[in-house]
Amino acid sequence: MTNKEKTELYSNKIKLELSIRLSSAEYMLWIHPLIPHSVFANQMTFIAPSENAANTLLSHYGELFCTVSRSIGLPVDDFVFMTKSQLEKSGDYTEEKENKEEKISEERKNPFVAKYTFENFVIADNNRFASVAAQTVAQSPGSNANLLTLNPLYIYGGVGLGKTHLLHAIGNYLFEHNPNMNVIYTTAEKISNDYFASLNQYSTDKDSYRNFRKKYSQCDVLMVDDVQFMQKKGGLQEVFFHIFNDLYINGKQIVLSSDRPPKEINDIEDRLRSRFESGIMTDISAPSLDTRINIIKKKLSSSNQTLDDDIICYLAEKVNTNIRELEGALLKIIMLCNLTHRKPTMEIAKEALKEKESEYTEQIDSDKIINYVSDYYRIPASDIIGKKKTKDIVEARMVAIYLVCEMLNLPLVSIGQIFGGRDHTTIIYSRDKIAGQIAANKGVSKAVEDIRSAIKCG
Ligand code: ADP
Ligand code: MG
C-alpha cells in the first residue's frame, strides 16, 4: 500500500467514526471539509480549509481524533491540521512525499505540541507551584545531586486545568535547550498498550519485550500523563515499578500527572503509590476569575485577536472551571465572527454560548438530573444511585450517569461519589455505553433527549 492509499484509508475510517460520534452539523462544519494529506510514523496530517479551522480542530477536536483513532486500532495518535498554504510554506506539500518523509525522519522532529510552552502558560495562584516545579525540572532534569529533588514530579488536578500543557512545556523546553536528551512523553494508556503489544509480539519477535523495557528505562526524562489509568492487570504495574527504579537510580527525571493524588488512586499497587509520593506532589486547582480573564487575554494576543473587555469578562464569568472549555468558547466566538463577517459583539458572545447557557446559568446539579431520570423511568432516585441490578434500574442509572457527565463539568471521581461511591471506571463504562446506544437504540436515544430537554426547560 502506498502512503497515499494508507492516508486515504485512515482518513475514511476516522471520518466514518467521527460522523457517528458528532452531530451532523458539527461533522459537516469541521470534519467533512478535511482533506487527508499524509501519514508519517504516528502522525497524520489533514489539510484544513482555513487557519481558524485548523486551530479549532487542534484545540477542540485533537483529542477526539486520538481517541477515535485508538478505538478503531489505527497506529496514529498525533494529528496535525494545516492549511494548504501553510503546508506549501513548510515545504511539505509536494507529490513526491515518500522520499521527503525519509529525510524528515533523519532530522529529529519535535514531538511536543508547539503551543504548549511555558511562555503560553499563565501562572496564577491556582498553578504557581506546579508551574515553577515544572520549569525547575525542565532546567535541571533529574538533578538528584541536590538535597531537594523534584523526582518524581507529580502534578494532579481536575480536567482541562493545564497538566498536559505543563508536561509538553517541559518537553518543548528540553527539545530546544537539550536537543540530545531522550525525552519521552506518554500516557498511562499508551504505555499499557505498548506493554501488552510487546507481550503479544513475543511469539514472533523475541526482542519485543526487551525493546519495550529498553525504550522506557533508557530515556533521560520520562513523562507519563494521566497515571490514574495505569492498569493493574497483566503485570504492567510491576514492570512500571522496575522502569521507575531504573530511571530513578540513574538520576533520570520522572514526571507524572493525574486527576488526583496517589493516595486516591484505588487501582494501584502500594509500592508504586509510595514511589509516586516520594518526590514532589503539587496540585492545580480551578482558576479564579482574574486568572480566567488573563488566560483569555493571553490566548487572544497569541493569535492576534482582540475582544472588548466586557466580552472577555462575560466569557470568563460564564465558563468558570475548565480552561479547555474556556478556549472552546473563545474560539467559537471568533469562528462565528469570521463565518458571518461580523465584528465581535456581546450578542455574538451570547449566541456562541447559547448551547452552554443553561449549563452555566440555570442551576443544574446532579440531584436535578437524577430526579428527572427518576421521574422518567418511574424509579426512585435511591435505586438509581443504589446497588440494584434489574434491567430497568441499570438503564436508568446509566442514562443518569451519562447525563451528569454530559451536562455537568465534574471530575469522574466526583461523579462516582454521587452515584453511591462507584469507581470512575464504572462511570466511564456507563457513559460510553449510553453514548454508543444513542446511535443504535431508539428507545435510549429518545429517553436521553426527552430528559435532557425537560431538565433544560426547567
Ligand atoms: P489537563 O491535562 O489538565 O486536562 P490541558 O493541559 O489539556 O489540561 O489544558 C487544557 C487547555 O487549557 C489547553 O489548551 C491549555 O493550553 C489550556 N490551559 C490550561 N491552563 C492554562 C494556563 N494556566 N495558561 C494558559 N493556558 C492554559
Ligand atoms: Mg491532560
Question: Per the domain annotation, does 118 fall within a domain?
Answer: no
Q: Which three cell numbers stand for residue 165?
A: 500543557
Distance (Å) of CA 221 to CA 18, 243, 385? 34, 12, 43
- Same domain for 344 and 376, yes or no, is no
273, 183: one domain: yes
Tens of pLDDT along the chain (458 residues)? 778 888 988 998 898 888 878 877 777 788 988 999 988 888 899 999 888 889 889 888 998 999 999 888 898 998 999 988 888 877 665 544 445 444 444 467 899 999 899 999 999 999 999 999 999 999 999 875 555 679 999 999 988 999 999 999 999 999 999 999 999 999 998 999 999 999 999 888 889 999 999 999 999 999 999 999 888 888 899 999 999 999 999 999 999 999 999 998 988 999 999 999 999 999 999 899 999 999 999 999 888 888 999 999 999 988 877 898 898 888 888 888 877 788 888 888 888 887 555 554 456 789 999 999 999 999 999 999 999 999 999 999 999 999 999 888 788 888 999 999 999 889 988 998 898 888 778 888 889 988 988 887 76
Question: Number of folded domains in the chain?
Answer: 4
Residue 361: per-residue pLDDT: 47
Residue 222 and residue 255 in one domain: yes
Q: Are residues 306 and 216 in the same domain?
A: no
Smallest-distance ligand from the CA of 328: 1
Q: Is residue 375 part of a domain?
A: yes
The answer to whether residues 153 and 301 belong to one domain is no
CATH of the domain at 410: 1.10.1750.10
For residue 319, what is the domain's CATH number? 1.10.8.60
Which residue among 284, 304, 323 closes a domain? 284
Among 108, 139, 161, the domain-final residue is 108
Sort 286 into a burial class: Cβ within 10 Å, 0-12 / 13-18 / 19+. Answer: middle
Ligand nearest to the CA of 224: 2
Q: Give the distance (Å) from ligand 1 centre to CA of residue 103.
A: 33
Closest atom of ligand 1 relative to the 166 alpha carbon? 6
CB 172 within 8 A of CB 139: no
The ligand 1 atom at the shortest distance from the C-alpha of residue 120 is: 25
Task: Give, for ligand 1, the residue of 165, 289, 293 to mutate: max count of ligand atoms closer than 8 Å to Cβ.
Answer: 165
Of 324, 326, 331, the one to substitute when testing ligand 1's pocket (max ligand atoms within 8 A of C-beta) is 324
The string of DSSP codes covering 21-69 is HS-HHHIIIIITT-EEEEEETTEEEEE-SSHHHHHHIIIIIHHHHHHHH
244: Cβ contacts below 8 Å, ≥ 6 apart? 152, 254, 272, 275
pLDDT, position 198: 93
Which domain range does residue 14 map to?
3-108
Q: Would residue 239 count as lying in a domain?
A: yes
Q: Is residue 114 part of a domain?
A: no
The verdict on residue 119 lying in a domain is no
Atom index in ligand 1 nearest the CA of residue 124 equals 23
Residue 159 within a domain: yes
CATH of residue 141's domain is 3.40.50.300
Q: Would you state the pLDDT for residue 267?
A: 86
DSSP state of 328: H
pLDDT of residue 102: 47
User: Quick one: pLDDT at residue 97?
Assistant: 47
pLDDT for 408 = 85
Identify the pLDDT of residue 303. 80
Whether residue 123 lies inside any domain: the answer is no
* Closest residue to atom 11 of ligand 1, CA basis: 324
Q: Note whether 298 and 257 are same-domain residues.
A: no
Q: Of the residues 234, 251, 284, which one is the last residue of a structural domain?
A: 284
Q: Is residue 116 part of a domain?
A: no
